[in-house]
Every structure is written in structure tokens, then in C-alpha cells.
Structure 1
Amino acid sequence: MCHGAEYKSPHYEKLGFDLVKQHMVSIGYPQEILEFEYDPAFPVRGLWFDTLYGNLLKVDAYGNILVAVHGFEFLKHSRIYELYPNKFITLDESRVYVLNTLFNLPETYLLACLIDFFTNSPDYAINDTGVVCGELLMSYQSVFQDIRNAVDYVHLRGELKQRTIENLEKFVKKDERLPTFLARLRESGAKTFLLTNSDYNFTDKIMNYLFDFPHGAKPDEPHRNWKTYFDIVVVNACKPLFFAEGTILRQKDHVYSGGSCDVFSKLIGAKGQ
């Protein structure tokens, strides 16, 4: 659905950032982090987060480190060489997390904010791999995992979706060319489908808003329900699990829930990867 629904930046990232930092405080992180304000100028897509040393890294296609940032401090070349021999790092998923989507921007900035806060607060001591407060040791890996869990909570069980549908005009862009685009794809013989991790209720509200025009695919055609623009609609896809073993596929009317990539491919008659 993210390819059909374009969220307004930076309003949507700020909403996610604020909700995640509130959840972090609710699980025991310092109240001071509520003072953090989202700065859209800092985070960019495609950074790697090194959970061992707590650094945000900009790397090239071969793993060579171009820039390293600890909190908001850009590391000098000498320091980078100390931590990363030959200024190189492999993409080891047990250590490195790739922040490559628009939805990663708030957590990218929160990672920088938290590490900067711990680094500069007199209440904490810093070592290469984490933070010490009294007898409490927090590794950067655990801080990262707490943020990841908070992001998942906000997206799956928190207020993000409810706040979004309460103010769709503020957070979601609408383009009257969308019905025409999808109709032309189908007219050319292509199959169109909507595949989303979101539940049906949220999906329906977003899509109704996106297709809320007085006309259909053409100015002289009547308005059509959004589902008529798709051959198949799949909600609750549970990606990335969808691309592995998946979940049970259920169907109600013309909408499917769950499933897997293999089952979906058979459903639409697709072959290959």
C-alpha cells in the first residue's frame, strides 16, 4: 500500500518519532528524551546502524565506510580506523541493521538522539559498546533493540494508525491521477494487486481517502470503489514473513488476509522470482 499511499513528510515522520519516544519513556527510558524534537534535515535513507559500537554509517556498495556518526558527532578518520580496520564493514545481519525505508527515518534520528544524550549526560559513562549508569550496563545492541521494539509497537498496536486516520489530510497525500494510472495498467493487460501489512479497516480508510474523487478513472466516468481498481487485495500480509513460510490465507469476499509469496504467486498465476 505504501506505493499507492504517499505520506506527507516531515509531518508523518514527526508523528512516528513522537509516539516512539513516548513509548521509550513508558518502558523506563529517561523522561528527558521527551524533549527531543524531530529534525528532518538529519536522517537519510540507506544508513547502516552498527549495533556493536552504536554508530550510524554511510557505506558504499562494497562495504567501505564513507562517513561514521556517533550520536551527532562525526568521527574522525583515525577513530574510524580504530573501530573498523581498513574502514570496512561486512553486512552481518546479527550486527548491522540497514535503515533503508522512509519509515526508518524517525528511528534513525532517535538512535542519534539517544546516543548523543547518553554520551553528553553526566549521569552516564560511555565505553565502546554501550552505556553505564551505576551498576546498570546498556549495550548499544540493547538500546537499538528497544527502539526497534518500540517502532513495531507503535506501528502494530500503538496510536500511529489511529492518529493517521483521524487526520488524513495532514498525513496522506492524494493524487487524482491514481485511478487513471491503475485503470490504464489493467487496460494494458497487467494484473494489479494491493499487498499490505495493515489490517482491512485501516486499509479501507486510507484507500477510500485516496480514491475520494467525484469521478472514476476518467473525468466523465462515475466514481468507483477503490477495490475495483485491483485484481487482488491482500491485507495482514505480515511481511517479511510473507516472503518465507507465510501465514494462513483467509478470504472474505474479494479480499484476502495473510498468505505467503508462494501461495500468492499461484493465486495470480505468476512465475519466477
Structure 2
Amino acid sequence: MFFFSSTFFFSHFMIFHLNRKFWVRGLIIDTQRGNFLKIDRHKYVRLAYHGFNPISSITRKHLYSRTFNKVPSFTEKSFVNMDTLFQHVDAHLFASLVDMKDRGEYEFLDDRTYEEIYRQVRQCVDLCHRDGVIKDEVARNPEKYLVLDDGLFPMLKSYRDAGLKVFLLTNSYWEYTSVVMNYLFHKEKVGKEEQKKNSWLDYFDVCIVGSCKPAYLVDPYLNLFRVKPEDGSLLNTDGLFEIEALGPDGANKFLEQGKVRN
């Protein structure tokens, strides 16, 4: 169950129940039509839903079948790939609002296109991640939201014992990362003093938080800071310039000064 409230929708407050079994990764969202597509490797649409309602074979083929001179690419801006579990929330909210719009239940949806509704759903979900409404709750009650895995740290240890380099890369900032990783490591929520030790860091060669992925892959001007794990404070670095200045083995020398980056 999750709540949805936003100024984008004139401050309407709604409750939706997430059906995890309905969604899988690999689907494509047609934001222009409010449809969800399952395609094969030949880009043939095998299954299509409008909101939560199946689309007939005739309609599906009319909308998405290839013609003699055109093969659908599904790469236009109106198509969104569901590559991550995070997008299940977006998809469920969007499908729910598509059905509500089609039923004419709420006037505030009448003058919005499906594409506008999807864009506003994305803005709302992004806002929830930024303002702490999700992560603050998880940090307060990790046992309620996080699933423990007894094999996680033995697996990481086996990687390092085999000589492999292990890194953690996350968009979450240090404070939240520390809470989550300490909970996964100790298998319980620990006090502040124990949390400051961050013993789980011994299983990683480098830890990058607040990574802004995927933007960091294409933006050479993103700032790079060094994090002090004891208190989460940030120290300035010159990023790539500092690494290059350290010589041929600059990357390793840079990491030796501290393994946590922001």
C-alpha cells in the first residue's frame, strides 16, 4: 500500500495498493496511450494492457504491428523501458490513474493527456525520494522494509578473497547508506556508536554514495567529494584532476586516502 498526494494533481490524496505480482521488469510503457507492452526480441508486441485492462489482439496489432516499410523501434520519448524494480511503483500509479481517467471519476484528470499524467507521476515519485519521506521512514524502521540475506557478506568476502575488487555504488547519500548497510551487516538496527564504526566497509574496496547515476556517466563536471564515515562530513577533492596528478597509479593512490566518495 502506498499513498499518493501531490500539488501536481491539485493536492488530491489517494491510497493505492501495490500488486507486486502484476509487474515484471522488461515491459515497455507507452506513455502517450497509457499502455503497457511486452515485446519479444524481434520487437513484436506479444501482450498489451491499457491501464490494468488487456488490449484485444486486433487493437494491439493495429497499434503496434510492423508494416512493410516500418518496424517499431520503441525508442521514442513516449516509450519508457521498465528496467528496474523502482519503476514498478511508477507503473502501478500510472496504470491506476489511467483507469481512473477512463472511468471519468475525477475531473482533475479529464484535461490531462496520458503523457502528462505519466510525467507528473515521475515528478511526484522523484520528489518523494528527494524530500526524505521514503528514506527517513526506512531508516527509522529498517526491519519493516529491508529483507535480510544471510549469504550477502559471505559472498562479498569470497569475492575479495579471490582477489576481485568490490565496490558499492548508490544514489543514496552517506547517512542513509550507513543505516541500511549497518542493518544488513549486523542483522539488526544498531546504536549510533556502533553505526559509526561502519564495519561493513571492510568488505568493499570503494564505496560511492550520492552517485547521480546515470548522469555521472555523461557529465564530466559532477563534483567528487571524500566522505568521513565517522560523521558523514564531506572533504573537497579535485576529482579527476587530483587522480591524474598522482601519476600512473593515481586511482589507487586516491582511494588509499579514503574509500568513501560522494
Instruction: Indicate whether the TM-score tops 0.5.
Output: yes
| Structure 1 counterpart SS, 2:43 | coil
Q: CA deviation at 1:53?
A: 1.4
Question: CA separation of 1:236/1:35 partners in 2, compared to 1, >3 Å: closer, same or farther?
Answer: closer
The count of corresponding residues between Structure 1 and Structure 2 is 229
Match of 1:8 in 2: none
Distance of 2:147 and 2:11 partners within structure 1: 35
Match of 2:159 in 1: 185
Distance of 2:252 and 2:113 partners within structure 1: 46
Asked if 1:56 corresponds to 2:36, the answer is yes
The percentage of counterpart residues that share the same residue type is 29
Asked if 1:65 corresponds to 2:39, the answer is no
Asked if 1:22 corresponds to 2:16, the answer is no
Match of 2:73 in 1: 90
Asked if 1:106 corresponds to 2:89, the answer is yes
User: Which amino acid in structure 2 is aligned with residue 181 of structure 1?
Assistant: M
Distance of 1:92 and 1:101 partners within structure 2: 17
| Structure 2 counterpart SS, 1:57 | strand
Match of 1:267 in 2: 251
Distance of 1:122 and 1:183 partners within structure 2: 54
Kept in 1, the 8 Å contact 2:49–2:55? The answer is: yes
* Counterpart pick for 1:46 among 26, 30, 38: 26
Which shows bigger deviation, 157-166 or 114-123? 114-123
* Match runs of 1:186-205 below 5 Å: 186-205=160-179
User: Which amino acid in structure 2 is aligned with residue 28 of structure 1?
Assistant: F
Kept in 1, the 8 Å contact 2:45–2:65? The answer is: no
* Counterpart pick for 2:98 among 111, 115, 118: 115
Distance of 2:174 and 2:166 partners within structure 1: 18
So what's the TM-score if we normalise by structure 1?
0.74
Kept in 1, the 8 Å contact 2:171–2:209? The answer is: yes
Q: CA deviation at 1:29?
A: 5.1
Q: CA deviation at 1:132?
A: 7.1
Asked if 1:252 corresponds to 2:252, the answer is no
Q: CA deviation at 1:267?
A: 2.9
* Counterpart pick for 2:58 among 78, 81, 85: 78
So what's the TM-score if we normalise by structure 2?
0.76
Q: CA deviation at 1:37?
A: 2.1
Match of 2:129 in 1: 155
Point out which structure has higher relative CO (alpha carbons under 8 A, 6+ apart): 1
CA RMSD of aligned residues (A): 3.1
Kept in 2, the 8 Å contact 1:65–1:89? The answer is: no
Q: Structure 2: where are the runs of 5+ without partners?
A: 189-196, 244-249, 254-262
* Counterpart pick for 2:201 among 214, 221, 227: 227
Q: CA deviation at 1:85?
A: 3.6
Q: CA deviation at 1:41?
A: 2.6
Match of 1:206 in 2: 180
Question: CA separation of 1:85/1:227 partners in 2, compared to 1, >3 Å: closer, same or farther?
Answer: same
Kept in 1, the 8 Å contact 2:44–2:65? The answer is: no
Q: Structure 1: where are the runs of 5+ without partners?
A: 1-13, 125-130, 215-222
